[in-house]
Structures are given as C-alpha cells and as structure tokens.
Structure 1
Amino acid sequence: MTPVILTDLDDTLFQTLPKCPPGMDGLRQMSSLLDGSPSGFATPMQQHFLRWLETGTVIPVTARGRDVLARVDIGQAPAICSNGGCILGDDGALDREWHDRLETEARRGAPVEAVYHALTDALCTDRFRHWAVEENGLTLYIVVKSNAHDAGELAVLEQELAPQVPTGWRCHRNGNNLAYLPPWLSKRHAARYLIDHIRTARPDQPIIGIGDSVSDVGFMDLCDFAAVPTGTQLWSHIALGNGWID
C-alpha cells in the first residue's frame, strides 16, 4: 500500500528564485503570480523528490488560498488550503461539512474582520501591506508583509501588536510573512479531519507529513512519519543546540 503524503508547498517543495542556489540550471517553474509571471521554482533535487512522492498520494497542506493554489503545478485534489480554512475532496470540490463546521466555530469567537482592523488600521501603508484571507465567504486569518521584505521589521511589529491580539489567537512569523490565526483555524485541525477519514477507510495506510515551518509541526505530529528540509525554519529549531551536530 503506497503512502499518503501531507506536505507543505512553499519552501518545502519549491521556493522563489532568490532562494534557489545562484546560477543553478534545470529549475522547474512550479507557481505563478496572478499576472502569470513565474513565482516559484523547484531545483532538480526537489523535482526528483516530488516525483518520488507522487508514487503515493500527495495532499498539499498550505497557507495558500484555493485560487492561489490553482496557480501551482501540482495535484490539488485532495488538498488543505488557507491554513486549514478550506478542504478540497478527491474530486476537487469543496468539503461542505468542514466548511460548515468552521462557520459554526467562527461565530463563537471574535470576528476576524474586527481583529484585522484593530491590528492593521494604524499601520503605515508605505512600510506594510496586509489583507484578510477569505474562502467561500468566510474570513479566516490575517496576513501582514513588509514592503521592504525586512524580516526584522516584522519581528518588531509582532511585538508592538502583541497586546492587541485576542486570547487564543496564534501568531506565526516566518521570513517576510506575519500571520494571525483565530483559535478555530489551523492546518492541524484540518489534517486531523482528513486523516480520520483516511484511517476509517484504510487503517494501515502509512501517512507522512512534510513541512519547513514551526507551524507545520501541528499537522506533521498527526502523521506516522515526518520529514523536514534542512536549511529551513523548522530544521533550525530541531538542530539548535544538538550536540550530535558538529
């Protein structure tokens, strides 16, 4: 029985051109921007890795929204999009049961739109851009980026905004990305839902989780095996202070 692979995409299976080794030949375009220009590339090693993974069932688990995932050159059914805010079934259709569940949970807490305005209305538009991610009429989470691509600037902003973040909300910062998620939204919640369905149908099917970020641990922890690209945020946390690395 071949495995199911739940995998993050950006900085795991491909990355932007500046993050690729300089002058590397054989890059494969993996994603594009809304205007059609290239945005993500896989190295030859990553291409071989993906082809190996595709001998099983690859399920993207990504912060990308459904429309942004559609611009990635990878199988997208099933898939977990928008940090768990949208699940696509084997046929690519929206999982209405999951969507209805999130709508119900969202009504119990602080409205994401209200938190979005509280956190971002006073931000300098010359320094930061920001938006609230929405799927199928449900506002899910908040994204803030530095216009100067300054990760240090985002780190300072995270500390400044901390007193305004509601109890139970999660903040995730990685590179030029600062995200705020309500308690009912995470890759882990969505992955558990999907894994429960897999286990019911095929109890012994191996499930592998792959990710690059500390936030990916949430869904990787539910899998039977986990893989982490070296040189990433998550691997840095794993390797920090490890006496077996010289």
Structure 2
Amino acid sequence: MTAPVVFTDLDDTLFQTARKCPDKTADGLRLMSTLVDGSPSGYATKRQENLLGWFRAGKVIPVTARSTEVMARVDIEQAPAICSNGGCITLEGGSVDEEWHSHLIASAAKEPSIHEIYGEMTRPLEAEQFRHWVVSEHGLPLYIVIKSNIDDGEVLDELTEVHAEITPFGWRRHKNGNNLAYMPSWLNKRHAVTYLIEKVRSIAPDAPIIGVGDSTSDVGFMDLCDFAMAPTNSQFWNAVRSGNDWTR
C-alpha cells in the first residue's frame, strides 16, 4: 500500500495560539511554535496532535505563509516545506530549492516592483494605527503585509477600498483576521504545490495526495489534491457552510 502525501497549512489548522484553543489555556497542549525570543506562540490540541500523528503515516509537506526564518521555529517536518505563500521551498538541511527560486526571480522581473507598490500603499498610513512590511526570501521581495494596531483587523476592511485603484492587475488580496496581504500574480501556494506534486507523481504515481487548510486562500492548493480537509471552525469551512440548507 502506498502511503499518502499530505500538503498542509499550519496556523489555525494544525495549531493556534493559546487564546484560540478551546479552553483558552496551554494546559495539556503540545507546544508547536515559538517566537524569536523563545517564548511559546502556537499550541496543538490533543486532537490536532493525533491528526498530525496520523498524517505522519505518510509524508507531511507544510504549506504556509510563514517565512523560512519563522518556519524554523515550528516543530514539524521541513524537508520539503513550502514557505512564504509559495515564495520559497526548503529541502533537506534547510537548503533552498534553487530551481524554484530561479523560476520566481524570472517571474518577478515581468511585473511591477513590489517595493514601489508597497510605498504607495503604506505612505499615507499612520504608524500608530498600522504596522506593515514586505516579506522577502533570499533577496527576493514577495508580498506586502499590513496589520492593525488598534483593533482585531476591522479597520483593514477600509484599506481594501483605498488600495483598489493602485493594486496592479492580477494581484491577489487576502484578509484573514488582523492580516491583510497583497500578493503578485506569480506568487501562489498553488503554483508551488503544483511544482512539488509533479515530483511526487514522478516517484509515486498512485500515492493519494491530501490537501489540508483553514483559509479560503488555501483552496488554490487543496484543489490540486485528490482529497481535501479543513477544520470546521475555519474561514474556509464557514464559507462552505454559509447558506447551505443541509446544515439546518
């Protein structure tokens, strides 16, 4: 029997902050990630821990918005791993998939400068209200992140209208909680998963491939897999459930 290959999102799928855990505490939870100063940041419930154990009967490949630097502080398989929304693929020993990196460099050269768009979007923003940055990997700017300092992300909804006119054609906007991201057309979890699925199929053509995620943005790569899974308390599942008569 051929073991499955699992492409899985991390945050709010396999673990979350203690505040988001069912009992709101870290008691009885497994520490999964830490901040740069070593303090705890993400925990898995027993059910999530058991789910990950089940996945490990096959091969686990993380697919995350976390950068390689932040990903290194997660207690999970990382060879290969898709980081920064598809902006970097790590291999054994933490090395970078140079073929994929070269592909992204060539793609980025055909589109508007991310730093220029970043300047236009953030120049009017008050530092007291917002924090923001450009995510980069190995010298390549990838996408823009904006977060609110004054609420849980409600104020970000207003920015999407303001930015509509200066967002380049083909770019994707994704908001989930207090996180607003603008990504160029060449950056996509789907593209990176497509690249790795081709490698998996060349070695194990009959391996069942499972996609797991919590966000509507994860649909792009889950759609490529043979089977898809999502937490039932997630943004993704709320979108599926909304207006569905069969849940009544």
CA distance in 1, matches of 2:34, 2:157: 28
Describe the SS at the equivalent of 1:31: strand
Percent of aligned positions with the same letter in both sequences?
57
Does the C-alpha gap of structure 1 residues 82 and 23 become closer, same or farther in structure 2, counting only changes over 3 Å?
Answer: closer
In structure 2, distance between residues paired with 1:81 and 1:6: 12
| Distance (Å, rounded) in 2 between the aligned partners of 1:8 and 1:100 | 24
Which position in structure 1 is the counterpart of 2:185? 183
Aligned to 2:166: 164
2:78–2:91 contact (8 Å) kept in structure 1: no
Q: How far, CA to CA, are the matches of 1:92 and 1:150 in structure 2?
A: 34
Partners of 1:91 and 1:121 in 2: CA distance: 39
Equivalence for 1:36: 38
How far is 1:91 from its partner?
4.7
What code does the residue aligned with 2:7 have?
L
Task: Report the residue type matching 1:155 in the other structure.
Answer: D
SS of 2:23's equivalent? coil
Match of 1:55 in 2: 57
Aligned partners of 2:207, 2:129: CA distance in 1, in Å?
A: 48
Partner residue, 2:15:
14
Match of 1:70 in 2: 72
For 2:197, the equivalent position in structure 1 comes to: 195
State the 1:90 CA deviation. Answer: 4.2
SS of the aligned residue for 1:122 comes to: coil
State how far apart, in whole Å, the 2-side matches of 1:219 and 1:28 are. 27
Say if 2:228 is the partner of 1:230. Answer: no
RMSD, aligned α-carbons: 1.1
Q: TM-score, normalised by structure 2?
A: 0.97
Deviations 1:121-145 (A, max 9, x none): 2111101100000001100000001
- How has the CA–CA distance of structure 1 residues 2 and 91 changed in structure 2, closer, same or farther, with 3 Å as cutoff? farther
SS at match of 1:152: coil
- Aligned partner of 2:113 among 83, 106, 111: 111
TM-score calculated relative to the size of structure 1? 0.97
In the alignment, structure 1 segments of 5+ residues that lack a partner are: none
Counterpart-to-counterpart distance in 2, 1:45 and 1:199? 30
Secondary structure of the structure 1 residue equivalent to 2:85: helix
Q: Is the 8 A contact 2:18 2:24 kept in 1?
A: no
| Deviation for aligned residue 1:104 | 0.3
Give deviations 1:142-171, integer Å, cap 9, x for gaps: 000111342211112222222211111000
Name 1:244's counterpart in structure 2: 246
1:68-115 alpha-carbon deviations (Å, 9 max, x no partner)? 000001111110000000011245321000000000010000011111
Aligned residue in 2 for 1:150:
152
Q: Distance in 1 between matches of 2:241 and 2:189?
A: 23
Residue segments in structure 2 that go unaligned for 5+ positions in a row:
none
**1:86 equivalent in structure 2:** 88
TM-superposed CA distance for 1:23, in Å, is: 5.0
Q: Which moved more, 1:131-140 or 1:159-168?
A: 159-168
Count of residues in Structure 1 that have an aligned counterpart in Structure 2: 246
**Letter in structure 1 aligned against 2:18:** L
Going from structure 1 to structure 2, the CA distance change for 1:39 and 1:79 (only over 3 Å counts) comes to: same
